[in-house]
Amino acid sequence: MKKVYVSSALLMLALMCAVPMQAQMNTNRSIAPSKAQAKKMSILTDFTPSPSVNYFHDVVYAHESDMDLHLQILKPDTKAGVKLPCIIFIQGSAWFKQNCYGKVPILSEFSKRGYVIASVEYRPSTTATYPAQIQDVKTAVRFMRKNAAKYNVDVDNLFVWGDSSGGNMSLLEALTQDVPSLDTKDYGTESLAVNACVAFYPVTDVLRMQEFAPNYMDHISANSPTGILFGHIPVMENPDKVKTASPIIYVSKDKAATTAPILIMTGNRDNVVPYEQSVIMADKLEECGYRYTFYKLEGADHGSWEFWTAKTLDLVDRFFKDNCKK
Q: Residue 27 — pLDDT band, cuts 50, 70, 90?
A: low
Per residue in 151-170, pLDDT tens? 999 999 999 999 999 999 99
Q: What are the tens digits of pLDDT across the range 119-162?
A: 999 999 999 999 999 999 999 999 999 999 999 999 999 999 99
pLDDT for the residue 79: 82
197 closest CA partner among 267, 290, 131, 107: 290
pLDDT tens for each residue of 251-290: 999 999 999 999 999 999 999 999 999 999 999 999 999 9
The domain 53-206+247-322: what is its CATH number? Answer: 3.40.50.1820
Q: What pLDDT, on a 0 to 100 scale, did the predictor assign at position 155?
A: 97
Distance CA 258, CA 255 (A): 6
Average pLDDT for residues 177-200, to the nearest whole number? 95
β-pair partners for 88: 118, 160
Report how far residue 87's alpha carbon sits from residue 107's, in angstroms, rounded to the nearest whole number. Answer: 10
| Greatest extent of the chain over all pairs of C-alpha atoms, in Å | 98
CA 44 → CA 47, 48, 318, distances in Å?
8, 12, 33
Measured in whole angstroms, how far is the alpha carbon of residue 203 from the centre of its chain? 17
Phi and psi angles of residue 129, each rounded to the nearest 5 degrees, phi first: -80, 160
Which of 237, 303, 247, 232 minimizes the C-alpha distance to 273?
303
Helices (H) and strands (E) in the chain, counts: 9, 8
Assess whether pLDDT exceeds 70 at residue 29.
yes
Q: How confident is the model at residue 188, as a pLDDT?
A: 87
Residue among 69, 96, 91, 55 at smallest CA distance from 186: 69
Supply the pLDDT for residue 254.
Answer: 97
In the sheet with 67-76, reading across from the earlier edge strand, the strands are 53-64, 67-76, 116-120, 84-90, 153-163, 196-200, 262-267, 292-297
Give the residue among 182, 234, 229, 181 at the shortest CA–CA distance from 203: 229
Q: Which of 178, 138, 181, 179 is nearest to 160 (CA)?
A: 138
Strand ranges for 164-288 from DSSP E: 196-200, 262-267
Instruction: Give the β-pairing of 84-90 and 153-163.
Output: parallel
What's the mean pLDDT when you consider all of the chain? 92
pTM of the predicted protein model:
0.87
Q: Where are the domains of the chain?
A: 53-206+247-322
Indicate whether 1 pLDDT > 50.
no
